[in-house]
Amino acid sequence: MNHKLGLIGYPLSHTFSPSYFAEKFTKLNIQNSEYLAYSIDEISKITELFSEGVTGLNVTIPYKEQVIPYLDELSDEAKEVGAVNTIKIIDGRRVGYNTDVHGFKVSLLEQLQDTVVERALILGSGGASKAVRYVLDKLGIKNDIVSRREPYLTYGELNVDIINDHKLIVNTTPLGMYPDVDKCPEIPYEALTKKHFLYDLVYNPEKTLFLRNGESAGSNVKNGSDMLMLQAEKSWEIWTDGY
């Protein structure tokens, strides 16, 4: 089976997946397969890729929601989350999946180990925030989204009591991502304790300012690199299932 794979998004600078899959193909001696970066400035251009015969795609910012009208079918998870990061084209049918869900769930459970967390704050309300909320709901962890705008809890409303009540804080905003490494979400870091878990979906740099602030307070911290690998492997599993 030849796999003609790729990633769509815009802009696509410093992207991880093409080199990840190139290495994988070399290591496993997978021939006649490719994984390319397609930086498309409008989602409608995805139809050109479909006509060129791609067999699978990953989808990143800003198209995880916009891509849905171009698909024939969604997995149950992608439907419930309302965002797609993986597409498989089989017999001309385009099916959308969300493997961020798997990546976040497995890596979060590894971070929490046996600790039971009752409440979480999710910083940001974009595509990744939806996958994170879906997982937390499934795990029975009550959660509140923090956003720059209503109807959500806003950053200005956060206080020591709210941070105390939410022992898990997940950053789904791009704040602190390279090259803006001196930025971080505006939360009352002074309220963090050893009992807090901070999870940052950002993986570059390895330790964002958000995570470094958590570490200074003795909190348990984790970045997004495990999630990134887990979602990529799950996409590969979907593309190769049945071949």
Ligand X SMILES: NC(=O)c1ccc[n+]([C@@H]2O[C@H](COP(=O)([O-])OP(=O)(O)OC[C@H]3O[C@@H](n4cnc5c(N)ncnc54)[C@H](OP(=O)(O)O)[C@@H]3O)[C@@H](O)[C@H]2O)c1
From 201, 211, 221, 238, residue interacting with ligand X (rule: CB under 6 A): 201
* DSSP category for residue 84: -
From 55, 219, 231, 235, residue interacting with ligand X (rule: CB under 6 A): 231
Active site residues: 64
Q: How far is the CB of 37 from ligand X (least distance, A)?
A: 15
Q: Which stretch binds ligand X (CB under 6 A): 5-13, 71-79, 110-118, 226-234?
A: 226-234
Q: Which stretch binds ligand X (CB under 6 A): 33-41, 74-82, 86-94, 118-126?
A: 118-126
**Is 122 a binder of ligand X (CB under 6 A)?**
no
Q: Which three-class secondary structure state does DSSP give residue 227?
A: helix
Query: Of 1 and 61, which CB lies nearer to ligand X in the complex structure?
Result: 61
From 74, 101, 128, 184, residue interacting with ligand X (rule: CB under 6 A): 128
Residue among 155, 189, 160 nearest 173 (CA): 155
Q: What angle do CA 211, 214, 219 make, to 5 degrees?
A: 120
Q: List the interface residues with ligand X, window 172-191 (CB under 6 A).
A: 172-175, 177
Q: Which stretch binds ligand X (CB under 6 A): 19-27, 90-98, 124-132, 190-198?
A: 124-132
Element (H, E) at 103: helix 100-112
Exposure of 117 in the CB half-sphere (CA atoms within 13 A): 27
Q: Taking CB positions, which residue lies at the least distance from ligand X?
A: 126
Q: What angle do CA 213, 214, 218 make, to 5 degrees?
A: 120
**Is 101 a binder of ligand X (CB under 6 A)?**
no
Residue 240: partners with Cβ closer than 8 Å, 6 or more residues away: 1, 3
Neighbour-count burial for 1-36, b at 16+ CB within 10 Å, e otherwise: eebbbbbbbeebeeeebbebbeeebeeeeeeebebb
| Tokens 């009352």 belong to residue | 188
From 124, 167, 187, 214, residue interacting with ligand X (rule: CB under 6 A): 124
Query: Of 11 and 218, which CB lies nearer to ligand X in the complex structure?
Result: 11
Q: How far is the CB of 228 from ligand X (least distance, A)?
A: 4
Q: How far is the CB of 2 from ligand X (least distance, A)?
A: 27
Structure tokens at 124: 């940001």
Q: List the interface residues with ligand X, window 1-60 (CB under 6 A).
A: none
Q: List the interface residues with ligand X, window 54-93 (CB under 6 A).
A: 61, 64
Structure tokens at 224: 């997004």
Query: Of 52 and 108, which CB lies nearer to ligand X in the complex structure?
Result: 108
Residue among 173, 205, 201 nearest 187 (CA): 173
Answer for the pair 217, 196: CB distance below 8 angstroms, yes or no.
yes
- d(Cα 79, Cα 90) in Å, to the nearest integer? 19
Binding positions for ligand X, rule: CB under 6 A: 61, 64, 100, 103, 124-129, 147-149, 172-175, 177, 201-203, 224, 227-228, 231
